[in-house]
Structure 1
Amino acid sequence: MTDARILEVQAELAALDDPTTRAANERRGDTHGVNLAQLRALAKRVKADHELALELWATGDTASRLLAILICRPKAFGTDELDAMMRAEPTPKGHDWLVNYVVKKSPHLETLRLAWLDDTDPLVVSAAWALNAEQVVKHPELLDLPGLLDTIEAEMPDAPARVQWEMNTTLAMIGIHHPALRARAIDIGERLEVLKDYPTPPNCTSPFAPIWIGEMVRRQTAK
């Protein structure tokens, strides 16, 4: 039954593949041509199905993996499974969704965060820093926040692009959510100037940490 269903689902994904969408995604390093709103609609129709998710992931096809992430049961994965999945998914969207929709909902989040911080694979390290940012907001008692700022200050300028992005997010989260460290976070951002010139659409907040922190704090104060 599952074999028939995976063929049916993959046929639907193939039908949704659009050359224009694929070309746009490939410029960003993503290897699929499915509109994400349509992908989410398909996931809603398929509903949660962990066994099917595992089979879709195993195909290695990017669109199939994105769908797998949406229909899996994050708490059903063990640490070794999540570690292997992280190392096997190089595309930006697949990596981002895996971290945000699966690992962040896993009971193994903290174990993986600690293990991945010392890894040599930049993709894995970037996942660890994404989890740092998550814990800065939700469980700061588990972290050495001044120590994180020390590491960011020393390593962010020369970090690989994805690691740098997540370090910058961690920096911003510390500044936004921890007033006692806000001035230092802003100072680090201003001196390092990471993402200062990042192209930002109108009505969106710049990822440059001092601007990001200032805007979020302003919104908090305005409530």
Structure 2
Amino acid sequence: MAEAMVNELMAELAALEDPRMREVNEKRGDDHGVNLTQLRAVAKRLKTQQELARELWKTGDTVARLLALLVCRPKAFDRDELDTMLREARTPKVHDWLVNYVVKKNVHAEELRVAWFADPDPVVASAGWALTSERVVKKPEGLDLPGLLDAIEAQMKDAPDRLQWAMNHTLAQIGIEHPEHRARALDIGERLEVLKDYPTPPNCTSPFAPSWINEMVRRQHA
């Protein structure tokens, strides 16, 4: 029954494919052309189905995996399962949703954060940094913030794109949330100039850490 349902869903997802959207997504490294609002509507209809989620994930198809992450039960995965899934999640959107929608809600999140943070694979390490950014904001107790700034200062400039982006996020959050480290965070951002020229639409905050920090601090005091 599960196999038949997966086949039906794969056909339904294929019918949602839009070549123009695929072209846009492929520029960001995502190999699909499905409108995510339409995908969420499919997930809403299906509701939570953990075994179906596992079967969809096994297909290896990007859209099927995104759907799996929307219908799964985040707390039902064990540590090794999540570690394997992260290493299989090579497209940015699947990686991002897996970390934010599933791992962050799982009891093994902190254990995985520590393991991934030091991983030699930069894509895996970027997940460790993404979870670290979350802790910087929500549960900084026990984190070595000066040590994180040391690592960012030494490694961010030459890090691969995804890891660089995650490190930059941590840098910005330290500067925003921890006034005692703000001057150093701003100084590191100014000197490294990572994402300084990132194209940012009007009325959006630049991901360049000094601009991001200053804008968020301004809003806090507005």
1:215 corresponds to 2:215:
yes
Aligned pairs (5 A) from 1:1-223: 1-222=1-222
TM-score normalised to the size of structure 2? 0.98
- 2-side partners of 1:22 and 1:153: how far apart? 36
Tell me if the contact between 1:135 and 1:142 (Cα under 8 Å) persists in the aligned partners: no
How far apart are the structure 2 equivalents of 1:13 and 1:142?
Answer: 44
Q: For residues 184-223 of structure 1, what are the alpha-carbon distances to aligned partners after superposition, in whole Å with 9 as ceiling and x for unaligned?
A: 111111111111000101110000001000111111111x
Deviation at 1:89, TM superposition (A): 1.0
1:112-170: CA deviations, max 9, x gaps?
01111221111100100101101101110131011101111111111111111000000
Cα distance, 1:104 vs structure 2:
1.1
Could you say what secondary structure the match of 2:221 adopts? helix
Q: How far apart, in 2, do the equivalents of 1:139 and 1:108 lie?
A: 15
Same amino acid, percent of matched pairs? 71
Question: What SS does structure 2 have at the residue aligned with 1:116?
Answer: helix
Q: Distance in 2 between matches of 1:98 and 1:110?
A: 15
Instruction: Please state how far the C-alpha of 1:4 moved relative to its aligned partner.
Output: 2.5
SS in 2 for 1:141: coil
Q: Which amino acid aligns with 2:39?
A: L
Counterpart AA for 2:24 = A
Structure 1 residues without counterparts, runs of 5 or longer? none
Q: TM-score by structure 1 length? A: 0.97
Tell me if structure 2 keeps the 8 A contact 1:53–1:69.
yes
Structure 1 counterpart SS, 2:60: coil
Backbone CA RMSD of aligned residues:
0.9
Q: Name structure 2 gaps, 5 residues minimum.
A: none
